[in-house]
């Protein structure tokens, strides 16, 4: 027994000694550009908390006019008030955006386009993780609809609704993907008019475990809340890859980002993940550290040749073979457009 206690004490002492080095390692890269943004317009989804909030804070500090687009307007106003006080930038605005509802997305886009004649940076930051199976207001599985679509793509084969309009989504993957896909589509012309401009899509290293299951995009045949998140993050990488091809020659570039393992509210739907996050919190990134790669991709000079690429710790990173599959990216794009009932050539 004494031997076991001795070994345990030695191990804990060792962890205590190396903890600063471990913490520094997990802190990751830092956005080092000193680019300032007076007169620039930025939209960040889900910026009322976590990584999005810290991203908004830094862009406001650099002089940008920042739109916090979020579902909870009260939380958004609280975050905006804090950022305005901290940065002395009064141009931090809050607008309602529910990425699980295409009507809300269209209303946000319509309002923004009427309000602003330019858009220089769009950061698709909002997302959900480890949700129990559920569908958005438009019938998309929550992960896919919110994280990716928020519009109505079509499945293979198509299954028409009783009204004969759009097919319903069949996977949690679709809910996550839909929202940002539709939002980007609706704001793209304004981005092109404001070029040079950038689109940054938050993804994750867990895209490695993802797979685009076209026969069950909505997860109705088989659903795993963990894998649904992985699938949606793979879809984010593929969307960025295909979007870069569509944007060639327009002056608009796009990047997908792994922010790192961050202490945030993203894991709130999973008791186990909340427990693990609390246990390992000393080694996790802060929201400010998690925002660094998003800031790098939004601001760093000379990134244009890397449009469509995946970044982690403020540098280009490896992606899985599935994330490099051009045929899958093209098919997902077509399915997303069909499900959302839009044309995006």
Of the candidates 67, 223, 229, 255, the residue annotated as catalytic is: 229
DSSP state of 160: B
Contact 253, 244 (CB under 8 A): yes
Beta strands in the chain (DSSP E): 41-45, 65-70, 92-96, 121-124, 148-149, 197-202, 252-258, 310-312, 315-316
| 276 sits in which H/E element | helix 271-279
Query: CA-to-CA distance for 50 and 260, rounded, in angstroms?
Result: 13
Complete edge-to-edge strand list for the sheet that includes strand 252-258? 92-96, 65-70, 41-45, 121-124, 197-202, 252-258, 310-312, 315-316
Query: CA-to-CA distance for 208 and 204, rounded, in angstroms?
Result: 9
Which residue carries 């940008």 as its tokens? 64
The β-bridge relationship of strands 315-316 and 252-258 is unpaired
Question: Strand, helix or coil at 5?
Answer: helix
Q: What is the C-alpha end-to-end distance of the chain, expressed in Å? A: 69
* Cis, bond preceding 204 (omega within 30 deg of 0): no
Contact 234, 240 (CB under 8 A): no
- In angstroms, what CA-CA distances link 281 with 23, 128, 226? 10, 20, 20
Query: CA-to-CA distance for 196 and 253, rounded, in angstroms?
Result: 8
Contact 175, 141 (CB under 8 A): yes
223 is catalytic: no
Residues marked active site are found at 229
């Amino acid at each position: 027994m004494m031997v076991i206690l001795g070994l345990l004490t030695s191990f804990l002492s060792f962890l205590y000694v190396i903890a600063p080095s471990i913490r520094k390692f997990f802190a990751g890269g830092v956005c080092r550009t000193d680019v300032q943004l007076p007169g620039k317009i930025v939209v960040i989804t889900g910026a009322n908390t976590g990584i999005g909030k810290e991203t908004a804070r830094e862009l406001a500090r650099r002089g940008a006019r920042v739109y916090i687009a979020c579902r909870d307007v009260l939380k958004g106003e609280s975050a905006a008030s804090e950022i305005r006080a901290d940065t002395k930038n009064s141009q931090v605005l809050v607008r309602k955006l529910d990425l699980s509802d295409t009507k809300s997305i269209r209303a946000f886009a319509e309002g923004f386009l009427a309000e602003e004649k330019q858009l220089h940076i769009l950061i698709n930051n909002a997302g959900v993780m480890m949700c129990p199976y559920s569908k958005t207001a438009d019938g998309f599985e929550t992960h896919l609809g919110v994280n990716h679509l928020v519009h109505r793509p079509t499945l293979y084969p198509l299954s028409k609704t009783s009204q004969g309009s759009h097919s319903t989504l069949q996977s949690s993957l679709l809910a996550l993907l839909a929202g940002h896909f539709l939002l980007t589509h609706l704001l793209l012309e304004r981005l092109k008019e404001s070029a040079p401009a950038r689109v940054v899509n938050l993804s994750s290293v867990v895209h490695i475990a993802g797979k685009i299951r076209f026969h069950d995009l909505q997860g109705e045949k088989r659903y795993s809340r963990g894998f649904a998140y992985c699938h949606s993050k793979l879809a984010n990488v593929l969307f960025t890859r295909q979007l870069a091809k569509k944007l060639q020659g327009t002056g608009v570039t796009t990047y997908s980002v792994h922010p790192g393992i961050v202490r945030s509210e993203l894991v709130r739907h999973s008791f186990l993940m909340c427990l693990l996050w609390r246990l390992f919190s000393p080694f996790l990134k802060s929201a400010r550290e998690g925002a660094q790669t998003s800031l790098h991709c939004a601001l760093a000079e000379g990134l244009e040749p890397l449009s469509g690429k995946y970044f982690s710790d403020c540098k280009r990173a490896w992606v899985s073979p599935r994330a490099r599959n051009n045929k899958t990216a093209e098919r997902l794009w077509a399915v997303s457009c069909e499900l959302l009932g839009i044309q995006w050539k």
